[in-house]
Amino acid sequence: MKEHLKEHLDEVAEDVQLDTEDDVYFGYFKVHDTNKDGYMDGLELLGSFSDHRNQKSGEGYTEEQYERDLKTYTEVVDITLKDFDTNNDGLISFPEYIAKVKRHGV
């Protein structure tokens, strides 16, 4: 995971180090906060699954599989927002994110 994250971080933020567990969490958050507003919204969460989908696309990935995965990803985004967004503003801040992952080891 760390190497994969490092590849993405090099594209968006060269100044982020991955020396500690907190650094890795911050790096993941920063990579997926694509509009750089300091929050992850539903579209950014959905986009975080695109790597997984893109890896499958070269392996005979069918439109039916894509639709099924998209439905699953959308459900996971809804669950994630409900679980992580503690102030119910529709966004996940880094403090909300880090509190949840540290509490539950996500």
Query: Looking at residue 13, what is its pLDDT?
Result: 56
CA-CA distances (angstroms) from residue 41 to 46, 78, 105? 9, 10, 21
Q: Using CA atoms, how far apart are residues 19 and 37, in angstroms rounded to an integer?
A: 24
Q: pLDDT over 90 for what percent of the chain?
A: 39
Q: Using CA atoms, how far apart are residues 81 and 27, in angstroms rounded to an integer?
A: 19
Is residue 8 scored above 80 in pLDDT? no
Q: Using CA atoms, how far apart are residues 11 and 79, in angstroms rounded to an integer?
A: 29
Query: Looking at residue 20, what is its pLDDT?
Result: 81
For the beta carbon of residue 92, count every other beta carbon within 10 angstroms. Answer: 25
pTM, 2 dp? 0.74
Q: Using CA atoms, how far apart are residues 8 and 10, in angstroms rounded to an integer?
A: 5
Q: What is the pLDDT of residues 40-76, one digit of tens each?
A: 999 999 988 776 666 666 667 788 888 888 899 899 9
Coil, strand or helix at 20: coil
